Amino acid sequence: MCNHWQWRNFICTSWTTMGTFWKVVYAYTWMDACIKPVGWHNWGKSENERSACFYEYRCSGPGCNPLKRVTWARELVDDEAEQFLMHYFIDPNPDRPWLSQRMGLKVPFSA
């Protein structure tokens, strides 16, 4: 992660992600020390803070510092994060799994 955005050292710097109503979730992610403590950048537009959601869940590493993040980013609790984790995100309805049927196999996942 840091090699790609080393020139900025934020978790997310692409202005396209600051478009309309995005949700970004880093779950179970090890963050290198090159990540700035504030974590996120609004590109100088405070309205971006209202139209995008930046979440972290059970991250670790020297770049993970929830207490120093911007006020408009937050740490998810277990119940909130569940909807974004792989199994639920890809196949939210276990009675009608769309991906595993098309692939002819079950999608492995672990957390």
Q: Could you tell me if residue 4 is inside a domain? A: no
What gap in Å lies between CA 56 and CA 9, rounded to an integer?
16
How large is the average pLDDT for residues 7-13? Answer: 48
Q: How many structural domains is the chain composed of?
A: 1
How large is the average pLDDT for residues 2-29? Answer: 58
Q: Could you tell me if residue 99 is inside a domain? A: yes
Could you tell me if 41 and 14 are in contact, meaning their C-beta atoms sit under 8 angstroms apart? no
Which pLDDT score is estimated for 21?
A: 64
Query: pLDDT tens digits for 74-96?
Result: 999 999 998 888 766 666 676 77
Q: Could you tell me if residue 42 is inside a domain? A: yes
DSSP 47-109: THHHHEEEEEES-BSTT--GGGS-TTEEEPPHHHHGGGSHHHHH---TTS-HHHHHHTSPPP-
How large is the average pLDDT for residues 104-108? Answer: 54
Which pLDDT score is estimated for 4?
A: 40
Q: Could you tell me if residue 9 is inside a domain? A: no
pTM, 2 dp: 0.63
Q: Could you tell me if residue 65 is inside a domain? A: yes
Q: Could you tell me if residue 109 is inside a domain? A: no
Which pLDDT score is estimated for 5?
A: 37
Domain that holds residue 26: 15-103
Q: Could you tell me if residue 85 is inside a domain? A: yes
